Structure 1
Amino acid sequence: MKISVSFTLLLLLGSVPTSESVECQRAFPEDIYAALREITASLVQLKADMALQTTGQAQLKTEVEKLNQQQRVQQVAFSASLGGTGRATIGPFPTDTTLIYKYVPTNIGKAYNPNTGVFTAPVRGAYNFEWWVAAFGDNGHGSGAWLVKNSNQLFMAYEQQAAGFMSSSKGMTLLLEVGDIVFIRMQANTVVFDDPGHHNTFSGHLLFPM
């Protein structure tokens, strides 16, 4: 009887560590796999977050470049004169003639072309223009010029007197679309005079975009 009980106890005692060992062997790999799955999921999420961040940075860079470009476009101003290096009278001509102001001390935005005398609106907005005409008076010819938008003559600066130096000026605000052109057209049978004093001028600037 003692031998039987002892043998049974040994079996019971021996079975405990064997069972625990099996359970540990089963649980240990499962814990590793769970941890690996969590790490993999974290890496996938991190990669997605980095891709999203990269995309966001690219979009932000694009928006900044657009804003910088818009800012550059919205900086528009010019002043020009006929550019007389000596004393010269221009006209009279039998037909209206576009005046080309070749001396350009200011041309911010490069919207005025000194080769054609034409200003081209780079952005939709309200613009202000001023122009002066001047000449020596005589009984036969005045001094006058139109502000022209595209093909429409709008305002005219004009002066005529029998003798002495005469001048006239006008200013006008225009709503321009992108690509609209503005220039000064000298009236037929009138004259303008210029010298290094730059008496005949054409200026304009963007008031605000719209």
Structure 2
Amino acid sequence: MSLVKNVHSLMKDMVEMKESMSTSNKRLNDAEKEISSLKNEVQLLKTENQKLKEEAVKFHEELKTADNKLNNTITSIKADVEQSQKSQLKLAAAVSSLEVFRMNMSLMNSCASKTSVGFTVGVTSSSSSWNGGILVYPHVVTNIGNGYSPSTGKFTAPTDGKYVFFITVNAYGSNDIYLDIVHNGSRKVRTMSHSSGSYQTGTNMAVLPLYKGDSVWVVYYSGKGYYAYDVPITTFSGFLLF
């Protein structure tokens, strides 16, 4: 009886052991499945990580290429800026040269217009008794700029500037004659032909600053008469110096 009881107890233990082993096997299978799933996830993570590495390498290469392009662009822009600066300097130099040329041309034109003023006039008939007023020179040798009037004996400045005037008078016989160069009514210089001998010659010159419209003429001061030839020897001349 005791043996049977022990056998029953042993069988019961074996059944429990089988159930425990079955449960353990089930747990083991579940664990293996979970491990397999984890392995799959790890593999997926490895694959994704590899893709990320490849994308990172690709991005790095693209970034490096973009950096090279940016550096090339910056270098090109610097070269363009330097070329532009050189071009601007050349343009500025050209503009300066043109301005200097324009100023020189303006100065040359101004000088050219001013230097085209001059006259020489004289008398071709002698007078033994002339003794007063303006000496009118009716014979015009040159009258560049038409500043001299043979009807009044006066020169009128057509432009501002510094003018040179020169007079020559030949006395009639043994007479004395004194003449003055007059600027707007003001006597500036005097010439004389003295009676130390026959047909003496007197000369003088004046440099006068004139404004446009100023007048210069020759006027009697003292003595009388003047001598002349058909080619003038008693003359009045003037020209624009600058």
TM-score by length of 1: 0.61
Q: 1:156 to 1:49 in 2, by over 3 A?
A: closer
Give unmatched runs, 5+ long, in structure 1.
none
Counterparts of 1:184 and 1:24, CA distance in 2: 100
TM-score by length of 2: 0.55
- Pairing partner for 2:211 from 174, 178, 181: 178
- Pairing partner for 1:134 from 170, 179, 186: 170
Give the conservation status (yes or no) of the 8 Å contact 2:123–2:228.
yes
Partner residue of 1:191?
Answer: 225
Counting aligned pairs with the same residue, the percent is 11
Residue 200 of structure 1 deviates from its aligned partner by 0.9
Alignment of 1:29-68 (within 5 A): 31=70, 35=74, 38=77, 42=81, 52-53=92-93, 55-68=95-108
Q: 1:123 to 1:77 in 2, by over 3 A?
A: same
Partner residue of 1:16?
Answer: 53
Which is bigger in relative contact order (C-alpha 8 A, separation at least 6)?
1
Decide which structure has the larger Cα Rg and report it. 2
Give the conservation status (yes or no) of the 8 Å contact 1:91–1:192.
yes
Give unmatched runs, 5+ long, in structure 2.
1-35
1:116-175: per-residue Cα shift (whole Å, max 9, x none)? Answer: 5416385554x554311125327xx754422112211233334465xx951331324444
Partner residue of 2:121?
Answer: 81
Give the conservation status (yes or no) of the 8 Å contact 2:178–2:223.
no
1:78-103: per-residue Cα shift (whole Å, max 9, x none)? Answer: 5623163xxx2257457402423511
Q: Indicate the SS of the match to 1:156.
A: strand
1:14-44: per-residue Cα shift (whole Å, max 9, x none)? Answer: 2233234445656739839x659937x8387
Give the conservation status (yes or no) of the 8 Å contact 2:161–2:240.
no
| TM-align CA RMSD | 4.8
Partner residue of 2:134?
Answer: 97
